[in-house]
Amino acid sequence: MTGAIMIQGTMSGVGKSLLTAALCRIFRQDGHSVAPFKSQNMALNSYITSDGLEIGRAQALQAEAAGIEPSALMNPVLLKPTTDAGSQVIVNGKVRGNMRAREYFSKKTELIPDIRRAFETLASQYDIIVVEGAGSPVELNLKKDDIVNMGLATMLEIPVLLVGNIDCGGVFAQLYGTFALLEKHEQELVKGLIVNRFRGDISLFDDGISILEEKCGRPVIGVVPFVKHDLEDEDSLSSRLEKTKNSGVIDIAVIRFPKISNFSDFDVFSQYEGVSVRYVTKPEELGEPDLLILPGTKSTIADMEWMNRTGLSREIRARANYNFPVFGICGGFQMLGETVSDPYGTECGGTAEGLGLLPSCRTVFHEEKTQLRTEGRFRDVTGFFSCLSGASYYGYEVHMGKTEGSSKPLTDSGGYFNGNTAGCYVHGIFDSSEVSGALVKALYEAKGLKYNGAVSDRRKQREKDLDELAETVRKSLDMNMIYRIIQEGV
């Protein structure tokens, strides 16, 4: 069987990414070779492929669901916001440059050959391509020269399933309103509707199905219940970032930078009994956590200046003076040093004073971006993070800056530690059961407690969650109708 199906949503956050992942897993389970595809993604959560190319984190998860290695073909255009009006533009996994929104919109049609080439290459290698749209297909002021929703479906002649999120209310207005605003030739591409994230007795929505089918003239392929899962979210719309209160024995606080990136680095801790992760934006929210983490950011200098303005820098330094454990990843690691400089304007330019918790460490941004997968072991570490000495890790690096200093080396891939402060560039460094397990046990012991729960490996947990998600979606959707839609095309 060969063909493609496209998942479009009535707006951002309706669950397109996870439905795409679920379908990839279902098609794989049914014996088909399958690959995900998203022509243009805007997200700060990214991933590095085995050949050192950068794509959206969601497409990496979808590839995992499909049982294949992530590839830049699956996400030929990635936009990583650097300011409210500009983004770093990544094409075919490599940085093309920084552009303001208006400049990008004037040039995005130039990327159509790259998008078409990527899709056609995947289509020649796999039985089924599951395509994900972005945001809403009826942002009327932005529809001109669309390359990710109906413009893409029209260009590649792909049938569309339109998804609405009932959990946030207004699903009739979402689905019917979106369908009504489509042009006639676009409506013809829509072959079915999906109601996602239903809570409660689904039979209570039977009348709703009839109403939607009458209004839109399209079948409702299924109603998918609200699924509790631990799979990573794509971007800053994630509800995880709203968590501000400690509800666990162990309290891990993460600074929520305005341009926070790759916050999926900390998802593994939610699998540990008694461990709570919360996100902090104000000094008064900081409290007395057991561990403070500075995450990645797409704009290190701007976010460092934000920490200075809010007073968070002062509070973090004060706690560090009392041997308070602090860990930084990527941009957060850069902030732990003495200075961060951007002489080439690769992000926003200028120089910022760091927290000074890693003495002598200085970061300078360069025009070349480091993009690589990595694995190794922690060195002989002293202080609180001595619990990680010799632990094996895996992950990836994606950063513009290079950090040098005379502090003690943290891992085989670099990084430094000083007292109870440590940092490195490796995203996903906590995913290994050796690392997260040792850290959680040490946090318990620091409070005079013993951790008796299970130790978790992020990769294994994702596999389990993907199987469970696929099982729920398979039961909820008319898969025979979906296969028929793929076979018949447009």
334-to-80, 258, 297, 326 alpha-carbon distances in Å: 19, 16, 10, 13
Task: Tell me if residue 229 is catalytic.
Answer: no
On whether the CB atoms of residues 401 and 334 are closer than 8 A, the answer is yes
Give the H or E element holding residue 377. Answer: strand 362-377
CB 223 within 8 A of CB 476: yes
Distance, CA of 469 to CA of 396 (rounded, Å): 26
Whole-number Å distance between alpha carbons of 33 and 41:
23
With contact defined as beta carbons under 8 Å apart, do 172 and 215 qualify? Answer: yes
Q: What dihedral do alpha carbons 445, 447, 449, 453 form, nearest 10°?
A: -70
> In the annotation, is 185 catalytic?
no
- Contacts for 220-223: CB closer than 8 Å, 24+ residues apart: 220/192, 220/193, 220/194, 220/195, 221/161, 221/192, 221/193, 221/194, 221/477, 221/478, 221/481, 221/482, 222/194, 222/195, 222/476, 222/477, 222/478, 223/166, 223/194, 223/195, 223/198, 223/476
What tokens does 379 get? 């060195």
Of the candidates 24, 32, 216, 330, the residue annotated as catalytic is: 330
- Residues labelled as active-site residues: 330, 427
